[in-house]
Amino acid sequence: MSAFWHWFVVLITLGFTAAMVWLFIVTGRAQVKAEPHDEGGDTTGHVWDEDLREYNNPMPRWWLWLFYGTVIWSLLYLVLYPGLGRFEGTLGWSQEGQYEEQMARAAAAFEERFAELTEQPLEALVDDADAQRMGRNIFAHNCSTCHGSDARGAEGYPNLTDQHWIWGGAPERVLESIQSGRQAVMPPLGDALGEQGVTRVATYAQKLAGKSVDATMAAAGERLFQQNCAACHGPEGTGNIHLGAPDLTAGIYTYGGDLDSLRETIRQGRNGIMPAQEPLIGEARSRLVAAYVLGLSRDDDE
C-alpha cells in the first residue's frame, strides 16, 4: 500500500469516528421546544397523517453511553489489530498468519492421529482399505481439479490410472512427484528444425508409437530425431524418467497424439508444471495420495 492510500485510509477512518462522536454530543445536548398535547405529555410539534404526533422523549442516557462505548471499542481494536492503512496493530495479527497457524495445527493433529497408518511402506498402504479411502478423499479435494475426479487426466494433465509414468512409477518416484512437484523440460524446436523438419519428426514419433505413416517422411524424421531429440528421449524413443522425457513408443500422450498436436508440441515445446503438494497437504497426506494413485494404476494393470 502506497503512502497516499495509507494516509487516505487513516484520515477517512479517524475522521468518520470523530464525526460520529460529534454527532452523539450534538444530539445528546439538543433541546427540542416542546408543545403541550391534550392527552398529556409534550410533543415535538411533528404531525403525520393528521393525528400521528411525535412525543418529545429524549434518548435514554444509557443508550447514548452505549454509543460512546462502541467508539471506544473501535479505537481499541484499531490499536490492537490492523485497520489503519499499513499499521499492523500492536498484537501483530494478520489473516495470513492466523490461516497458517490453523493449518499447521490441523496438519499436526492429522499427523498425530494417523501416524501409525502413514508410517507404513507405500506398498502396504496400497492394500489398506482405510488408507485408500482417505487417499481418495484427499485426492478429490486437492488433485481432481487438474487430473479429474476419476484421475484420468485431460489435455495437458497425465492420466494417473495407467502404467505410463513420465517421471517413473516406482512408489518413491510417485511420492517425490507429489511432494516436490515436477517441471516439464520439453524445449521448443521449431527454429532449429524448421516447419518441414517439425513435420518429419512428428511423423517419426507416430511411427515409434506403432502407427502407419509415410516411410520416407519417417526415415527423414528419424535422422532429425537422433540429432535433436535422442539426448532426452533416448535413441529408441523410450524416454528418460529422470528428465521427464516420456516414452514415445507407448503411444500415450499428455497433449495429444495426432499429427497436428505432435507438431505443436515439437514446435512450441511444453512447460507443464506439477506444483509441489507437500507444503500444502503435508507428509502424511502426500503418502496417502501416493498410495491411492498407485492403487489406481495397479487396478488398471489387473
Residue 30 is predicted with a pLDDT of 59
**What CATH number is given for 190-271 in this structure?**
1.10.760.10
Q: What is the mean pLDDT of residues 205-227?
A: 96
Contact yes or no for 204/221 (Cβ under 8 A): yes
pLDDT at 16 over 70: yes
State pLDDT tens for residues 251-300: 999 999 999 999 999 999 999 899 999 998 888 899 999 999 999 987 65
Domain edges within the chain: 100-183+275-301, 190-271
Map residue 282 onto helix, strand or coil: helix
Residue 70 is predicted with a pLDDT of 94
Same fold for the pair 100-183+275-301 and 190-271: yes
pLDDT at 160 over 70: yes
C-alpha cell at 47: 404531525
Contact yes or no for 149/296 (Cβ under 8 A): no
Q: pTM of the predicted model, to two decimals?
A: 0.69
Short-list 281, 247, 235, CA closest to 167: 247
Neighbours of 35 (CB within 10 A): 12
The average confidence (pLDDT) of the chain is 90
State pLDDT tens for residues 108-133: 888 787 888 778 899 999 999 999 99
236, exposed or middle or buried, with CB in 10 Å at 0-12, 13-18, 19+?
A: exposed
State pLDDT tens for residues 48-59: 888 788 777 767
C-alpha torsion sign, points 70, 71, 74, 80: negative
CATH entry, 100-183+275-301, from 1.10.730.10, 1.10.760.10, 3.40.50.2300, 3.30.70.100:
1.10.760.10
The phi and psi torsions of 166 (rounded to 5 degrees) equal -65, -40
82, exposed or middle or buried, with CB in 10 Å at 0-12, 13-18, 19+?
A: middle
User: By mean pLDDT, which of 20-34, 145-159, 215-229 is the weakest?
Assistant: 20-34
